[in-house]
Chain A
């Protein structure tokens, strides 16, 4: 367990830096998590993060990267639905890294 400070609030995380409580998430903590990884969140990042939050809301799981890639392609266009685009945004792995900033648990099947 650890904690992250953002904008005067404290957020609990698990040992890998994922938020302990999905409901404690807000945009401030996402920005701080990204800064820790030397990443500045742009609109393109937010598109993916928001997509993941909607996916989780609907299905109660974080999608596998293959499923994420396909679904992004369908929702945001073919130019974005490929691993090259997603890995450029999230070099530590789109599913793992983007899910972390979105406040979701680590995707099922990720080790």
Chain B
């Protein structure tokens, strides 16, 4: 699987390169600034891009802008954005085109190599990887009188994991329940939130995120 990597701190860049190589990814390009990121994305058309939000020359949201621009030119290009901070505003912008293949994670998540690589793979295959912190803040906005308030604590837990982009199997493993139980919870959640049920994992996640982003 070919990856384009953008990270301006050499130490972190090397770390990510070796981490991804250790998990059988092929590094098509590893760049350290916004303009060369856009060029690399358009030239290499990687299977997935791992991008730091803040890059030279402006040290603002250069990486995010390059990723969004690349996705405008190559719709659906899978991008996993890493950042020291997660902002709902940026999460919304990334999800705005509704086409999936989007990840937005805190840099800390790299500590858990297994989960991180799993997230990269998920994004590459058109799935979603939202940071638990983003999801928690999205859910926190729901007031008690909204449909979110009618979810049982367990359903809420399942929904948060689903919004992070996890598959039913992964959710079942994390919560130590059977996959059947998760499927049942999912059906309840969709009924309570009045969302159309879909068998496709990725669509389901996007539907939940779109609901939370309202």
To the question of whether A and B form a pair in one complex, the answer is no
What residues make up the interface of B, taking CB atoms closer than 8 Å to A?
Answer: none
